[in-house]
C-alpha cells in the first residue's frame, strides 16, 4: 500500500504512547504529524464541514489516531467527529470513544450480551443501599466512585454496616457510587488485554502489592506478560466489538466462572503493555489502520468486488449472489 498521511491527535508529543505510534507509522513508510487536540477550530456550514489548526486551514489527512484524554472528552470527540465527516478514517470513532467513557453506560451495554461482568448495583435512595449490598450476597463488597481512576475511589468494605456507611457518606457529598460484588478469587490480580481489530495483540497480568486488593500500577501493582486462555481472548475481543472499538484495553478479573469484565478503555496506554510484553503494539495498530483503509472503509459493494473478484458493475444488489 502507498504511503498514508496520518495525524495523531494528542496533547503531548513527548508522551510514550504518542511517540511510539509516531515511530511505528514512520517505520512503515507513512507521513505522520502529532496535532494538539485543543488547537483545532470546528467550522460548520451546510454541506461543508471544516477544521482549522492553530487558526489556519488544515490539509488533508487519510487517517486519524485519536488519543483523547479523559479531561477533554467533549471537545476531543467533537474534533474526531468533524474528521469523520470530512472523510478521514478515524481509528475509534467519536461516538464509540464518547460511549466508552461512561463506565456505567458501557457496563449496561455489555450486560445485554452474554459476556461476564461483575454484578453491579447503582442506587441513590438511602433505603435501597442495604438491599443492593444484600443483592451482592452481602459484604465483603466493592464500592466505587463512578468518576474514579487509577484505583482511587475503589474501596473494599468488609461488613454490611461499613459498606452502608460508605455509600451513604459518598452519596451525601453528591458522588455517584456503584456497589459491586467482590470477586475474591481474583486475589488482587487483573488482566489487561490489548485488542486491535479482531484480536488480542498483547496481554499482561497485573498483581497488587502486598495486602492491597487493587492491582493498579499506580497503587504499586506489578505487571507480567501472560498467555491468555482462548476464553479470555474471546471475551476481550467481543467486549471491544460490542462497544465498536478498533483499539481497546480490556480489563478483566479472573473469576471462578471465567472472565469478569471491569472496564473497556478506548485510549489505552502503550507503555505498560509494551514494557511488560516486549511486543510492538504500536506497529500492530498501524498495520490494522492500513488494513482498514485498504478494505474496511469502502462501500460494501466495492468490498465484495475486492474480496470475491466481482467488479462493481457486475454486482447487482437486487439479485441474490448465488442463484
Instruction: Note the residues at the interface with ligand ATP (CB under 6 A).
Output: 118, 142, 144, 148-152, 154, 180-183, 186, 190, 213-216, 251, 253, 262-263
What is the C-alpha to C-alpha distance for residues 85 and 43, in angstroms, rounded to an integer? 12
From the centroid of its chain, how far is CA 13?
21
- What does the alpha-carbon distance between residue 64 and residue 68 come to, in Å, rounded to a whole number? 12
What would the grid cell of residue 23 be?
Answer: 515511530
Judged by beta carbon, residue 185 or residue 231, the one nearer ligand ATP is 185
Residues contacting 313, CB < 8 A, separation 6+: none
Q: Read off the DSSP letter of residue 112.
A: T
The CB-of-245 to ligand ATP minimum distance in angstroms stands at 15
Minimum CB distance to ligand ATP, residue 39 (Å): 27
Q: Which of 109, 105, 104, 77 is nearest to 93 (CA)?
A: 77
Residue where the block lists cell 456507611: 165
Nearer to ligand ATP, 9 or 183 (CB): 183
Mapped onto helix, strand or coil, the DSSP state of residue 179 is strand
Smallest gap from Cβ 100 to ligand ATP, in A, equals 10
Nearest approach, Cβ of 137 to ligand ATP (angstroms)? 12
Indicate the residue among 25 and 157 with the shorter CB distance to ligand ATP.
157
Least distance to ligand ATP from the beta carbon of 231, Å? Answer: 19
Nearer to ligand ATP, 36 or 102 (CB): 102
Minimum distance of ligand ATP from residue 255's CB (angstroms): 9
How far is Cα 91 from Cα 290, in angstroms, rounded to an integer?
Answer: 11
- Whether the CB-CB separation of 48 and 82 falls below 8 Å is answered with no
Nearer to ligand ATP among residue 133 and residue 154 (C-beta): 154
Residue 106: CB partners within 8 Å, gap ≥ 6?
99, 100, 243, 264
Whichever of 144 and 238 has its CB closer to ligand ATP, that residue is 144
Amino acid at each position: 500500500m502507498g504511503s498514508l498521511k496520518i495525524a495523531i491527535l494528542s496533547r503531548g508529543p513527548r508522551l510514550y504512547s504518542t511517540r511510539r505510534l509516531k515511530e511505528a507509522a514512520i517505520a512503515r513508510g507513512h507521513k505522520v504529524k502529532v496535532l494538539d487536540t485543543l488547537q483545532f477550530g470546528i467550522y460548520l456550514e451546510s454541506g461543508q464541514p471544516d477544521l482549522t489548526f492553530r487558526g489556519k486551514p488544515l490539509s488533508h489527512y487519510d487517517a486519524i489516531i485519536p488519543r483523547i484524554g479523559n479531561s477533554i472528552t467533549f471537545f476531543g470527540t467533537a474534533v474526531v467527529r468533524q474528521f469523520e465527516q470530512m472523510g478521514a478514517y478515524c481509528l475509534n470513532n467519536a461516538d464509540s470513544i464518547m460511549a466508552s467513557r461512561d463506565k456505567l453506560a458501557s457496563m449496561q451495554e455489555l450486560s445485554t450480551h452474554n459476556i461476564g461482568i461483575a454484578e453491579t448495583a447503582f442506587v441513590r435512595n438511602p433505603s435501597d443501599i442495604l438491599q443492593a449490598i444484600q443483592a451482592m450476597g452481602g459484604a465483603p463488597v466493592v464500592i466505587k466512585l463512578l468518576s474514579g481512576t487509577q484505583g482511587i475511589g475503589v474501596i473494599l468494605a468488609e461488613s454490611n454496616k461499613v459498606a452502608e456507611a460508605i455509600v451513604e457518606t459518598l452519596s451525601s457529598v453528591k458522588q455517584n457510587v456503584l456497589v459491586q460484588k467482590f470477586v475474591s478469587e481474583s486475589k488482587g490480580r487483573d488482566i489487561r488485554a490489548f485488542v486491535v481489530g479482531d484480536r488480542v495483540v498483547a496481554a499482561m497480568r497485573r498483581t497488587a502489592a502486598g495486602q492491597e486488593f487493587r492491582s493498579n500500577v499506580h497503587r504499586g501493582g506489578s505487571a507480567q506478560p501472560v498467555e491468555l486462555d482462548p476464553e479470555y481472548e474471546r471475551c476481550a475481543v467481543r467486549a471491544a466489538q460490542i462497544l465498536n472499538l478498533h483499539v481497546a484495553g480490556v480489563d478483566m478479573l479472573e473469576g471462578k466462572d471465567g472472565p469478569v469484565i471491569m472496564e473497556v478503555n478506548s485510549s489505552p496506554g502503550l507503555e505498560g503493555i509494551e514494557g511488560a510484553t516486549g511486543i510492538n503494539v504500536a506497529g500492530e495498530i498501524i498495520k490494522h489502520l492500513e488494513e482498514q483503509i485498504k478494505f474496511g472503509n469502502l462501500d460494501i459493494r466495492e468490498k465484495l468486488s475486492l474480496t470475491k473478484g466481482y467488479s462493481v458493475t457486475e454486482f447487482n444488489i437486487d439479485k441474490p449472489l448465488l442463484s
